[in-house]
Amino acid sequence: MDKNEFTLEQYRLHESRVIRDAIHGYITFEYLPIWQLIATAEVQRLRRIKQLGGTYMVFPSAEHSRFTHSLGVYETVRKMCALDEIDKHLNDYEKLTVMCAGLLHDIGHGPFSHTFEGAFHTNHEEMTRRMILEESEVHHVLKSVHEDLPLDVANVIAHKASKPMIVQMVSSQLDADRMDYLLRDSYFAGVTYGEFDRSRILRTLRIKDDRIVFKYSGVQAIEDYILARYHMYYQVYFHPTARSYEHVFQLIAKRLTVLYEQGYHFQTNIQYLLPFISGEKMSVAEYEALDENVIYYYIGEMQNEDDAILSDLCQRFINRHLFKYESINDASEIEEYRKKTIEKGLDPDYYVVDDEAIQVPYKHYGVGKHTGEIEILMEDGTISTLSDTSHIVNAILHSKPKIDRKVFFVRNSNWRKETDE
């Protein structure tokens, strides 16, 4: 069917449906395919993956899942589609495509998200595309609407679309994804850093040559948003206690891999982890089988493994007996920590971590890259960039990146003897 003649009206629900959400009030569903996507196993699975990985170990009320975030991204895209500016530049097929892409953009995440990817060399964007294109409930729903829809949705997630604005709505320096997560992560963590004036930003959104730009009168609201990102990174996302928790997870993964290669006999039946450890190509179904409940169950069980390192790391993980940390300046200091760790009778490869977090709050990419700079529509009709328009953003952009190098280590070979202060 010709996509230009595709009409959403045929899919309109008899009565719109709503889901209550702490951030958006009501999330509204007007069309059947979106409502069907919510009910798929792939989307429901996101209820079992936390949005912020180990962050809830330091901001305990940040226990929210990727499921609610995904609903929030969909809702933000839906509201964008209702803006006059967007409405007149997209046809119904494109609107459905971008709403689906918003809802589905995170389905490929594994447990502990980025930490997991680092540990097991997976890639959530690739898995998201596979889940959409290969055999899955999501795939069936999309295909039932239009043969091309799975591919078109997957392409948006891979930063390809008929018009740049479609990609930009879901994935750019100022997109529905970031707009939702800054507000949501702030709200649940209980901090004010992530707040910004979304309604004003959306009011100043304009389309120019099929690209999203913002009126000059929106620059200050966008500055505020850039700073919200910046502060959320330092205060929340990069908090050393969350990083400590994630390091313990990565060390567990590392130990698992080493033991597996050594032919160690696991008492725990870790069948759903094995494909990740072995590094073999896996099916979508195998990938989906792993969620945070399964991981927690495994780690809980592996507290009783014979391997002392694995058992100890798992006990630390479950009971939040995390590694301590100190700021350091260079690699030579790491050696000191390794020496002391050996003196305690511990293997420094598992008990000392050198970690450098570099934060770049607003980064512009080279020509041709998919997420270029935020563009500003000046009063005279020309286009400028945010960093040329805002001296605050420019200052951030050209400032030396803040380097936060830390060593993570243990104080005592027996965590039961460590105080938690």
- By annotation, the residues acting in catalysis are 124
**Closest to 65 in 3D by CA, of 74, 76, 52:** 52
For residue 18, the surrounding DSSP H or E stretch is strand 12-21
The Cα-based distances of 106 to 16, 120, 149, 299 in angstroms read 25, 18, 17, 24
Give the DSSP letter of residue 235: I
Residue 148's SS3 state is coil
Q: What number of other Cβ atoms are within 10 A of residue 263's Cβ?
A: 6
Which residues, 6 or more positions from 298, have their beta carbon under 8 angstroms from its beta carbon?
Answer: 268, 270, 272, 273
Instruction: Say which residues have a Cβ less than 8 Å from residue 338's Cβ, sequence separation at least 6.
Output: 348, 352
Dihedral sign, Cα of residue 13, residue 15, residue 16, residue 22: negative
Q: At how many degrees (to 10) do helices 292-302 and 308-319 cross?
A: 130
